[in-house]
């Protein structure tokens, strides 16, 4: 598909599979980011990872050799926290990591399953039958349910498959029969809306760069942004074999 990236003011990079693969940087990612910055393009990062804080992800990018400010890094957990704050949601039961719970505790009252009015669900690698039971009960009584994202799996350590937040959210919808009121992660738009609001750049002047057709391309389309898909060939979207190829693609025009 033909590419037209005139008027683009910002590039939003997915992380896992685009910039890094676990703790390793993907060859060409840093150079591409530096190149785009030299052309006056603002660089942002958007990941569905809700298990880590923005600060953790920022520190990780620094370790990988990529310069960025914490304000440039967006994850679904952060967007969930902002949503809970904005809506003034109280009495929240959380399925998620300890750091996610800590971030949420700054904007809402964390409660047990028998006192929940709000349920927030992200990835929880310590999810077990006890937590499933509590989460089910919290889901049944909650007035508001927020999912970080519905990614059922991801490729992690050792390039092996792991269950994603979608394992926890799928459990909630299957066992409680309730659907979420909000899904804040990609491919839904709340994360893009927040990036646009905070940067003052309209979505139409941003390009999303990622390796997932469903998550990244869907995200850009739903928000009205441009997009580039890495490592896959699709007829209906601009594709490049590797992250390195973005440089030539965006500056042949």
CA distance 96 to 108: 15
Q: With CB under 8 A as the rule, give the number of residues binding a copy of itself.
A: 25
**Contact of 100 with 122, CB cutoff 8 Å:** yes
**Residue of the chain from 127, 178, 193, 221 that contacts a copy of itself (CB under 8 A):** 127
Confirm or reject binding of residue 153 to a copy of itself (CB under 8 A): yes
**By CB under 8 A, residue 128 contacts a copy of itself:** yes
Residue nearer to a copy of itself on the CB measure, 133 or 198 = 133
Residues 191-230 that bind a copy of itself (CB under 8 A): none
Q: From residue 74 to residue 113, what is the string marking binding to a copy of itself with x (rule CB under 8 A)?
A: ----------------------------------------
User: 35 vs 127, which CB is nearer to a copy of itself?
Assistant: 127
Q: Which residue from 68, 70, 111, 140 is in contact with a copy of itself, where contact means CB under 8 A?
A: 140
Supply the DSSP string of 53-67, one letter for each residue.
Answer: -HHHHHHHHHHTT--
Beta bridge partners of 25: 20
The helix or strand, by DSSP H or E, that contains position 193, with its residue range, turns out to be: helix 190-199
Beta bridge partners of 230: 240
Q: Which is nearer to a copy of itself, 19 or 138 (CB)?
A: 138
Torsion of CA 77, 179, 16, 98, to 10 degrees: 40
171 lies in the binding site for a copy of itself (CB under 8 A): yes
Which residues 6+ apart lie within 8 Å of 228 measured at CB?
3, 207, 208, 209, 210, 237, 238, 239, 240, 246, 249
Binding site for a copy of itself (CB under 8 A): 124-129, 132-133, 136-137, 140, 152-153, 160-164, 166-167, 170-171, 174-175, 177
């Amino acid at each position: 598909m033909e590419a037209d990236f005139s008027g683009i003011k910002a590039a939003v990079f997915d992380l896992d599979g685009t910039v890094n693969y676990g703790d390793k940087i993907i060859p060409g990612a840093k150079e591409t980011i530096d190149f785009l910055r030299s052309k006056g393009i603002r660089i942002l990062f958007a990941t569905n990872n809700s298990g880590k804080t923005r600060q953790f992800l920022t520190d990780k990018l620094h370790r990988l050799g990529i310069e960025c400010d914490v304000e440039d890094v967006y994850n679904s957990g952060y967007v969930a926290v902002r949503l809970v704050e904005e809506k003034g949601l109280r009495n929240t039961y959380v399925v998620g990591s300890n750091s996610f719970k800590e971030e949420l505790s700054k904007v809402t009252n964390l409660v047990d399953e028998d006192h929940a009015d709000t349920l927030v669900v992200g990835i929880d690698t310590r999810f077990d039958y006890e937590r499933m039971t509590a989460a089910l009960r919290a889901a049944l009584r909650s007035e508001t349910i927020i999912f970080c994202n519905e990614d059922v799996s991801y490729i992690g350590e050792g390039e092996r498959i792991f269950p994603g937040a979608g394992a926890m959210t799928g459990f909630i919808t299957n066992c409680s029969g309730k659907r979420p009121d909000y899904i804040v992660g990609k491919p839904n738009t709340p994360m893009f809306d927040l990036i646009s609001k905070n940067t003052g750049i309209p979505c139409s002047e941003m390009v999303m760069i990622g390796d997932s057709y469903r998550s990244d391309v869907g995200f850009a389309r739903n928000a009205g942004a441009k997009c580039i898909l890495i490592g896959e060939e699709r007829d209906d979207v601009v594709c490049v074999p590797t992250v390195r190829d973005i440089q030539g693609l965006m500056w042949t025009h």
